[in-house]
Amino acid sequence: MSPEGAQHPVPPTAWRASHKPGACQHLAVRTRRLIRSAGFAAAVLLAAGCGSQPTTDAAATGSSTSSSAAAAETAAPSAPATADPDGVASVTPFSGDTGADVAAPAAPQGLTLTDVRTGRHEDFDRVVFEFAGTGTPGWSVEYVDTPSAQGSGAVVDVPGTAFLQVTLQGTSYPYESGAQEVPRGPVAVSDTHAVAGVFYDATFEGTSVAWIGTSDRVPFRVYALTGPSRVVVDVSHAG
């Protein structure tokens, strides 16, 4: 092969006009005929191979399509059995304890408590504190002997025999954020097992406080959710 990929032509056999063909010359003729025959056979095989190529490509394409479809079917996510707007993230069995749970604020900006709601789940009751603004409030959640109002220290009447104090830090007054804050007072609670009542004590100097009245000092857990910003307190049904 030349650098450009072309084949060099086979040079013709030299014939002498003054002599009859000898044995070597007859051998050369036969050799050339054999070469041409072999070349013709190779061309036929090549043409046959080229003719069968689309079938191979089509089979490969079909195999690739089937593989892609199977992969897509395998990768398709399955829908969750249940949906919970507050991100149940249920842990079975319930994972929690009765010790204080503390976390620092994370980039709080204009966080004002706009909603408090409760719900019952299989192994626990849930209390959700939802905020306007961005970032995540800090919190300190622990059992206290007596609920006492911020500033005045007056005793607050909360249903239940045990009291979880929820102290939320990094919060803003409604006149600072422009959001409508949950009014101070009891929060409606229904169809719960461990949670007997909730009371919100409003915001004072960057801190918002609430109490969750429970049937006993049962285990609990606390975590944050975003979009919107929420702090979730799950209270176990079992002591």
User: What pLDDT is stored for residue 52 in this prediction?
Assistant: 43
CA–CA gap between residue 167 and residue 211 (Å, rounded)? 9
Instruction: Compute the distance between CA of residue 187 and CA of residue 183 in angstroms, rounded to an integer.
Output: 9
| pLDDT for res 151 | 86
Do 58 and 176 fall into the same domain? no
Do both 68 and 114 map to the same domain? no
Q: Kindly state whether residues 57 and 119 are assigned to the same domain.
A: no
Please identify every stretch of the chain with a pLDDT value under 50, giving residue numbers as ranges. 1-83, 90-91
Looking at the fold, whether 50 and 137 belong to one and the same domain comes out as: no
Phi-psi region of 15 (alpha: psi -120 to 50; beta: other; left: phi over 0): beta
In a domain, 11, yes or no: no
Q: For residue 66, give both structure tokens.
A: 């089937």
Same domain, 45 and 159: no
* Number of domain units in the chain: 2
Q: What 3-state class would DSSP assign to 233?
A: strand
- pLDDT for residue 195: 97
Domain boundary (75, 90, 114) is at 75
Q: What is the pLDDT of residue 155?
A: 96
Q: Are residues 169 and 220 in the same domain?
A: yes
Tell me which residue range forms the domain holding 39.
Answer: 22-75
Please tell me the predicted confidence (pLDDT) of residue 94.
75
Please report whether residue 86 resides in a domain. no
**Sign of CA pseudo-dihedral 210, 215, 220, 224:** negative
Rounded CA separation 153/81 (Å): 46
In a domain, 203, yes or no: yes
For residue 166, what are the contacts with CB-CB under 8 A and spacing of at least 6? 127, 129, 139, 141, 209, 210, 211, 212, 231, 233
Helices (H), the chain: 23-75, 174-177
Q: How far is CA 92 from the centre of its chain?
A: 21
